[in-house]
Amino acid sequence: MASPHRIVFANEKGGTGKSTTAVHVSVALAYLGVRVGCIDLDPRQRTLHRYLENRAETMRRKGFTLPTARFEVFNGTTVEELDALAEEVAQDVDYLIFDTPGRDDEFARHIATTADTLITPLNDSFVDFDLIGQVDPETFKVRRLSFYAELIWETRKKRAQATIAQNRREMDWVVVRNRTGHIEARNMRRINEALQELSKRVGFRIASGLSERVIYRELFPAGLTLLDKDYLGDLGTSHLVARQELRGLIAGLALPAPPKRQPEPVAAPAPAPAPVQNAPQETQSEAHDPYNSAPHQPSSDGPGPATGGTARWSYTA
């Protein structure tokens, strides 16, 4: 059986939206009909674990079923225990997602070496950019790599050796620009230029992430996401824009389609949820929302940005 595609969310700086992005990616993939497993490597905060735990409790309390992921939190003390947990969760899933703590951590460094897709969420700020590169204070040109970029560079070199020796996937490093709302335009342009320059040096891709929105914090207690629109009541325009941001993020990650598997026995369909009172009418883009339809088939229209000819998920608006 093929091993699942490993997605690792990693940034040694806290407050960049790692866990929020990780849970929304996991739920978005589940909505597409694939099987997802998640491991939270921060046993103190365990934000990803708590989010999905809240989701499971909401389903139990309300008596409905939502697409979700299997989730565990790592409480061990050795790398061997972490690898054992990963192997256990990896059974019968298509994607295995790791959420790492916002600090230097032995287990986060180890699991990063196993990533097929390494995602580094980054706020649009030179305070956050300093984690991966140092810039000139006058020209804002990148002067040198920072310690984290050097760490990932070394990690990718080790992974490249394993790619050849063990026939493993090549690591795809994606820097996701989170919380881009309410940013002064000149600062945003400078950060974009610095990221573009640095990406050419160290070989990461850049993807647009999730803007700063209160709704993400409000949904946490119930474990809901913006994809669960049938259970959210009235959605404002900003919330619909946020759903589109999430679609764009998933498309930008260019994740490979999972291998085909044998169809499972079809169970009797569950009754549809009661319509939400005063719910907004679907727009044309909402009517063709891939997260409210049958699972997508992989598209071979072209390779991902830096990953060869592997089939990718296709998304329609």
d(CA 272, CA 207): 35
What confidence score (pLDDT) does residue 292 get? 53
pTM for the model stands at 0.79
Q: pLDDT higher for 123 or 50? A: 50
Let me know if 34 is exposed, middle or buried by CB neighbors in 10 A (0-12, 13-18, 19+).
buried
- DSSP, res 304: -
Show the tokens assigned to 205. Answer: 């891709």
Q: Please name the residue that has the structure tokens 């009754």.
A: 271
Which whole number is the average pLDDT over 10-28? 91
Show the tokens assigned to 194. Answer: 């610095």
Residue 317 has pLDDT above 50, yes or no: no
Return all residues near 78 (Cβ < 8 A) that are at least 6 apart.
Answer: none
- For the ranges 71-85, 146-160, 253-267, which has the lowest average pLDDT? 253-267
What confidence score (pLDDT) does residue 311 get? 46
What confidence score (pLDDT) does residue 301 get? 38
130 by DSSP, 3-state: which?
A: coil
Which whole number is the average pLDDT over 232-257? 85
pLDDT for 248-294, tens place per residue? Answer: 999 999 999 876 665 555 455 555 455 434 434 444 444 445 555 44
d(CA 281, CA 262): 37
Q: Please name the residue that has the structure tokens 């000819």.
A: 309
- For the ranges 86-95, 144-153, 177-186, which has the lowest average pLDDT? 177-186
Q: What are the C-alpha distances in Å from 62 to residues 31, 48, 54, 65, 231?
A: 19, 21, 12, 9, 10
Residue whose C-alpha is closest to residue 279's, from 221, 240, 241: 240
- Helix, strand, coil shares of the chain, percent, nearest 5, are 40, 15, 45
Show the tokens assigned to 206. Answer: 């850049």
Which domains are delineated in the chain? 5-258+276-293 (3.40.50.300)
Show the tokens assigned to 211. Answer: 């803007």
Pairing of strands 36-40, 70-73: parallel
Residue 106 has pLDDT above 70, yes or no: yes
Show the tokens assigned to 1. Answer: 């059986």
Q: What are the C-alpha distances in Å from 191 to residues 196, 239, 296?
A: 9, 26, 35
Q: What are the C-alpha distances in Å from 111 to residues 85, 114, 116, 122, 294?
A: 12, 5, 10, 19, 32
d(CA 210, CA 177): 8
Q: Where does the pLDDT of residue 184 fall: very low under 50, low under 70, confident under 90, or very high at 90 and above?
A: low
pLDDT for 22-74, tens place per residue? Answer: 999 999 999 999 999 999 999 999 999 999 999 999 999 999 999 999 999 99
